Amino acid sequence: MDWKIELIFVPVSDVDRAKDFYVKIGFNPDHDHQVNDELRFVQMTPPGSACSIAFGTGIGGRLTPGQQDSIQVVVPDADAALAQLRDAGVEAKGVDEQAWGRFVTFDDPDGNSWTLQELPDYSAANQG
């Protein structure tokens, strides 16, 4: 049986600001549904990802805006990801070189932290 993570909640204080930010950095706006005055659901997907994020009003868990700091996304090129973020006006930090990958970090407007990881080329390391 497969277990697939397909949706992660990101707590935000301003739904429209968050949606604009994520569109600006390349996420696809999959759904934006105002169910009633108290409930709005927005789902967005990073390019090439099988997992989406969700935010809105009247939904959420125990996290408050700015507390999500555990999302890590694999990218093919950390330098290109850093350039894309900076071109979009995002204050991204990186590239942090480690033996287990190259990392770029950034925060959304609420302070939710994201880590982008370029995986090391293990095939090249195993050829020696």
Where are the chain's structural domains?
Answer: 1-60, 67-128
Contact 113, 98 (CB under 8 A): no
Tokens found for residue 83? 């350039």
CATH value of 1-60 in 3.30.1280.10, 3.10.180.10, 3.40.50.620, 3.40.50.150 = 3.10.180.10
d(CA 88, CA 26) in angstroms, rounded, equals: 9
List the pLDDT tens digit at each of the 128 positions of the chain: 999 999 999 999 999 999 999 999 999 999 999 999 999 999 999 999 999 999 999 987 788 999 999 999 999 999 999 999 999 999 999 899 999 999 999 999 999 999 999 999 877 656 65
CATH value of 67-128 in 3.30.160.40, 3.40.630.10, 3.10.180.10, 3.20.20.70 = 3.10.180.10
pTM of the predicted protein model: 0.90
Contact 118, 101 (CB under 8 A): yes
